[in-house]
Amino acid sequence: MRYTTAGESHGRALVAIVSDVPAGVPIDAAAIDRDLARRQQGYGRGGRMAIERDQVQILSGVRFGATIGSPVALVIANRDWDQWLDVMAVSGEPVDRARVTAPRPGHADLPGVLRNRASDVRDVLERASARETAARVAAGAVAKALLTQLGVRVLSFVTRIGEAALATEPDPREIDADAVEASDVRCPDDSVAEDMRKAIDAARADGESVGGVFVVAALGVVPGLGGYAEANQRLDARLGAAVLSIPAIKGVEIGDGFAAAQRPGSLVHDPIVYEKGRGIVRPTNRAGGIEGGMTNGEPVVMRAAMKPIPTLIRPLPSVDLETLEPVDAARERSDVCAVPAAAVVAEAEVALVLATAYQEAFGGRCLSDMLEALERYKDRLPR
Ligand code: EPS
């Protein structure tokens, strides 16, 4: 399964095309819309989210509620486009309104204009905007629809916003999914969630932004997905790249991640135990479900660090690209915190990688062939 997206933040619409989708996967536009709405939510989101009501339009690849093996094209209209018709016009003379010449430190602005020889930072920021992640979430919802049929669930929760953090990270198998969905910071613990909201309020009051950490996990994954024999098969690398491709994600860990570096091997690796009836199990999951570039049958557990969003109400120093004089960086309407939204985007990225890995292992043309191959595989695993 591959996806590509197109669309600018204030253009007419965002587009995603998902290719190599097996035939026969039930697709419900309402389920895609639910994920789009989950991405829009979160305490600390900015004014744009009050304007948009992201909803998917399925243009191709789905007939009578199921995929037909052709590319799935998805469109999400930008309601805000109406306010930007002159700025984002496809033809005609450039307009000065909303022109940006003071790049924001931390954003794509400066390297983007240097690379493209652009004179207006807007040429870069319109596409570098995290608005694009709405299209990824729609694409990921197609992957999730396949994974649901294969018995896999992808979930996420937030463990830290600024200084406010869970003291211990819960096991994703034990997480109260309803509590996470009900929380506007995607945090399963109410009192920590309150601290997180206070951290966001404090950042807003200071003209600051604030980052955080989230967990993204996949439950019900069979062992042996991915591969150890070639670099490009290794699932840890593929999952890591997918999550790092989300704007503002600066670090990714799998399982114990960096903490494993300070402990002896016997306290890092997960013992292998056989239990009659259950098969080969692992009493611990420090590996985060990945060994040797492959799933090991335990939940896949990843953690990602999101930096604070670079658009600041009290901006950092920058340089005007026309005069090369010192100026304040551009102020754009923005979010104070988008960590809960990024966690939902990471679900989509992880789902796309895992769906592809399932297709590699069990055939990718039609769902029923995949299910048969998957059952044969499960039957031959030790029980
Ligand atoms: C976003 C839409 C954007 C930003 C945000 C993410 O809308 P606008 O630019 O109209 O405010 O709110 O993007 C950023 C913060 C960024 O730095 O790229 C969205 O739909 O998620």
327/330 Cα distance (integer angstroms): 9
* In the block, residue with structure tokens 């396949």: 146
Mapped onto helix, strand or coil, the DSSP state of residue 376 is helix
Ligand 1 probe mutation, 131, 132, 209, most atoms within 8 A of CB? 131
Angle at the Cα of 22 (from 21 to 26), degrees rounded to 5? 95
Element (H, E) at 164: strand 164-165
Ligand 1 contacts CB of residue 78 (under 6 A): no
- What is the rounded average pLDDT of the residues 356-370? 97
* pLDDT, tens digit, 9 for 90 and up, residues 42-52: 999 999 999 99
- What is the rounded average pLDDT of the residues 316-343? 95
Return the residue whose CA atom lies nearest to atom 18 of ligand 1.
Answer: 129
Ligand 1 contacts CB of residue 48 (under 6 A): yes
Q: What is the pTM of this model?
A: 0.98
* pLDDT, tens digit, 9 for 90 and up, residues 177-198: 999 999 999 999 999 999 999 9
* pLDDT, tens digit, 9 for 90 and up, residues 26-37: 999 999 999 999
Return the residue whose CA atom lies nearest to atom 21 of ligand 1.
Answer: 131
Ligand 1 contacts CB of residue 254 (under 6 A): no
Angle at the Cα of 178 (from 172 to 184), degrees rounded to 5? 95
Confidence category of residue 343, pLDDT binned at 50, 70, 90 = very high
- How much distance in Å is there from the Cα of 185 to the middle of ligand 1? 18
- What is the rounded average pLDDT of the residues 77-93? 97
- How much distance in Å is there from the Cα of 94 to the middle of ligand 1? 22
Q: Looking at residue 277, what is its pLDDT?
A: 87
- How much distance in Å is there from the Cα of 172 to the middle of ligand 1? 29
Question: Residue 221: CB partners within 8 Å, gap ≥ 6?
Answer: 152, 289, 295, 297, 299, 300, 354
Angle at the Cα of 160 (from 239 to 206), degrees rounded to 5? 120
Give the number of other CB atoms < 10 A from CB of residue 111.
12
**Whether the Cβ atoms of residue 239 and residue 353 lie closer than 8 Å to each other:** yes
- How much distance in Å is there from the Cα of 141 to the middle of ligand 1? 21
- How much distance in Å is there from the Cα of 311 to the middle of ligand 1? 9
* pLDDT, tens digit, 9 for 90 and up, residues 227-268: 999 999 999 999 999 999 999 999 999 999 999 999 999 999
16/7 Cα distance (integer angstroms): 9
* pLDDT, tens digit, 9 for 90 and up, residues 121-178: 999 999 999 999 999 999 999 999 999 999 999 999 999 999 999 999 999 999 999 9
**Whether the Cβ atoms of residue 149 and residue 367 lie closer than 8 Å to each other:** yes
- Assess whether pLDDT exceeds 90 at residue 383: no
Ligand 1 contacts CB of residue 40 (under 6 A): no
Ligand 1 contacts CB of residue 126 (under 6 A): no
Output the CA–CA distances (angstroms, integers) from residue 311 to 104, 114, 181, 211, in the order listed.
Answer: 7, 19, 27, 12
Q: Looking at residue 332, what is its pLDDT?
A: 79
Ligand 1 contacts CB of residue 129 (under 6 A): yes
Q: Looking at residue 60, what is its pLDDT?
A: 98
Mapped onto helix, strand or coil, the DSSP state of residue 73 is strand
Q: Looking at residue 357, what is its pLDDT?
A: 98
- How much distance in Å is there from the Cα of 146 to the middle of ligand 1? 29
Q: What's phi and psi for 10, nearest 5 deg?
A: -110, 20
Q: Which residues on neighbouring strands pair with residue 60, listed in sequence order? A: 73
Helices 133-149 & 29-40, crossing angle to 10 degrees?
130
